[in-house]
Structure 1
């Protein structure tokens, strides 16, 4: 049995104001070829199919074409809803879709009816768990106070393990959650950044509601969604990440999915398959003049570009000028190379015993990244200070 584990398609998401739909269409359009080449039996999409709860009509068409291509290539489709999805809308007509090999699990109790696949070794039960919001799923276990995602998913997995043991088949779980290795003392900043907008927040505890990997003990493979980068928590618990890049922080991370092979005793291996990257991401750094002229940056002219400008004085009209060379420049950061550090002192201490000219110089040194008054500016300011002083409103400090 071979499964292709994907997640977080986020149909409808924008990238610095640009639609990602052309890139998603291209990537999803390559799935049939991957399915045929690797003889995939089922494609798993572990949550966040859409980016919004009310997707535009066009996005349903993109999803329909992707599913049609997967089915025509011979693979079953299993989809769960994520925290970005509207479960009711995504799950509409799921009962009939299942008859055609497209299984969409959006009900909170969907895991109680596993999707059963079969190969020469027998049956494989896929327990598809949609994203579970504790406040909305109180009916799953009446009388039990399961107020965090960790507590609720842990309780669901207890039931899943019992079902799997009773059925005696190989087992796969799909879940949309923020899982961390059981031995991790805390959630790393990198992991939080990786989750991006999709974080599950435990507001009562004031932090991220994480789920330890031990929650998925006893299952042959856990196909997770929610984190947008590839991750192997354990050999049998993995994130596939998103099929395209949604932020520059993901620029160095590959895009693709896991091909999960199940043998007679369970998981045999999981190998990575790369998806195409229609438009790569580049994070460039230098002065505006360097970025516009240096040959080393030529290879990025067709990429999405994030430019960090190191000019000491912020260039005028930087974005327009950058887009003359990099038409897909999407974001600019400013980081002057010679910014003078401001001493940790009060304003009164910083200006004590300084003339008005010196105070202005210090201010410009800060906001201009090291450039103080030039000669014409200095002469003009002297005249202004003299006139104000003569009017009796202010005098230069000694």
Structure 2
């Protein structure tokens, strides 16, 4: 069977106050075109359909129309909620999704059958997919209490909770069936794309690939925006986002993943690039150096490497009308400058900072000195 794996659409994402809805529509239209050309049997959308928990009506319209268009290709479509999605709101759309022939799961429920989706391809191949929406740390124990946890089990780590959920949902894989898992989570060793919500990618939220049963044919993940393969007991991949979400992702290759697999063969995956409508680009230099650059229609983040002065930002904005972020970064903090600062007091460092920023106001320095003295002498 043939599977199209995509995730992290983030429809409704606003970049530095600028709506990118037209670009997002173009990116998803390209995903739909890929689905029409590739003719997959199953399409897996691994979370973060929206960028926030209160999407605009326009963003919701884009998501529902996109899922409908993917279903119209003839493929089965299974989509789950991510950490940016409102899981309850997605579940409220389930009557619509069911009527449209789309499987939509926003939150983890107490019904195992809600998360074990089964189907048969047009060619007669049977498949089974465990669909696990994003599970926040604070709801992990509550979700697992539905399955009669002991007190010791309730005190386990987030990774243990995810592993236990998967063991409940993925138990007894059937012979002659393609066994799949789709989840929205961080796997240990995964490389962040640059625009993820860090609180949900670090510390207690990372799980090892060992949580996935070895007899799983393919694990389709969402959450990290960079397409990548994870080493594990079975094939595990992030599809990445079909559009760069923020400037930290400008070097990522936007794509979807196509997978071919059968009950008796190992999954073979290939990356299919998604054309970029409007690129994101970071440029750096003096005013003279920046003026010599050709930037096209890209959205820009500009670092100006010369001291700040009145009217500098306005000058750069006039030079680059598509600059969404302008930072004056003269590069003072060289290794030599850092060495000079070693061993100096906080008031001395603050005085240096004021001087570098073109301000030597004695009142500001005096206020800092007084506040620093107050906090440093608190017993």
Kindly report which structure 2 residues correspond to 1:285-324, keeping only aligned pairs within 5 A, or say none. Answer: 285-292=284-291, 294=292, 297-298=293-294, 300-311=295-306, 313-324=307-318
Q: Deviations over 1:226-280 (max 9, x none)?
A: 1111111137101112221122111111111101111342443110011121111
Are the aligned partners of 1:307 and 1:332 in contact in 2 as well (CA < 8 Å)?
Answer: yes
Matched, 1:283 2:282: yes
What stretches of structure 1 of length at least 5 have no aligned partner? Answer: 182-186, 352-359, 374-398
CA distance in 2, matches of 1:64, 1:349: 56
What stretches of structure 2 of length at least 5 have no aligned partner? Answer: 361-379
Pick from 208, 211, 214 the counterpart of residue 212 of structure 1: 208
Instruction: Say which SS state the counterpart of residue 158 (structure 1) adopts.
Output: helix
Post-superposition offset of 1:104: 0.2
Are the aligned partners of 2:130 and 2:170 in contact in 1 as well (CA < 8 Å)?
Answer: no
Other-structure match for 2:357: 367
Kindly report which structure 2 residues correspond to 1:1-398, keeping only aligned pairs within 5 A, or say none. Answer: 1-95=1-95, 97-109=97-109, 112-113=113-114, 114-119=116-121, 120=123, 122-133=125-136, 134-144=140-150, 145-146=153-154, 148-165=157-174, 169-181=177-189, 191=191, 194=194, 196-197=196-197, 199-200=199-200, 207-216=203-212, 217-234=214-231, 236-292=235-291, 294=292, 297-298=293-294, 300-311=295-306, 313-337=307-331, 341=337, 342-347=340-345, 366-368=356-358
Are the aligned partners of 1:48 and 1:82 in contact in 2 as well (CA < 8 Å)?
Answer: yes
CA distance in 1, matches of 2:195, 2:211: 19
CA distance in 2, matches of 1:73, 1:79: 16
- Residues paired across the two proteins, number: 345
CA distance in 2, matches of 1:100, 1:21: 24
Query: RMSD of the alignment, in Å?
Result: 3.0
Are the aligned partners of 1:112 and 1:127 in contact in 2 as well (CA < 8 Å)?
Answer: no
Largest Rg, 1 or 2: 1
Are the aligned partners of 1:111 and 1:127 in contact in 2 as well (CA < 8 Å)?
Answer: no
Other-structure match for 1:394: none
Q: Deviations over 1:60-94 (max 9, x none)?
A: 21112212221222222211011222212101241
Are the aligned partners of 1:83 and 1:198 in contact in 2 as well (CA < 8 Å)?
Answer: no
Are the aligned partners of 2:106 and 2:133 in contact in 1 as well (CA < 8 Å)?
Answer: yes
Q: Deviations over 1:294-352 (max 9, x none)?
A: 1xx21x131111111111x214333432233322211223332466724324359979x
Post-superposition offset of 1:200: 2.3
Are the aligned partners of 1:229 and 1:240 in contact in 2 as well (CA < 8 Å)?
Answer: yes
CA distance in 1, matches of 2:56, 2:348: 56
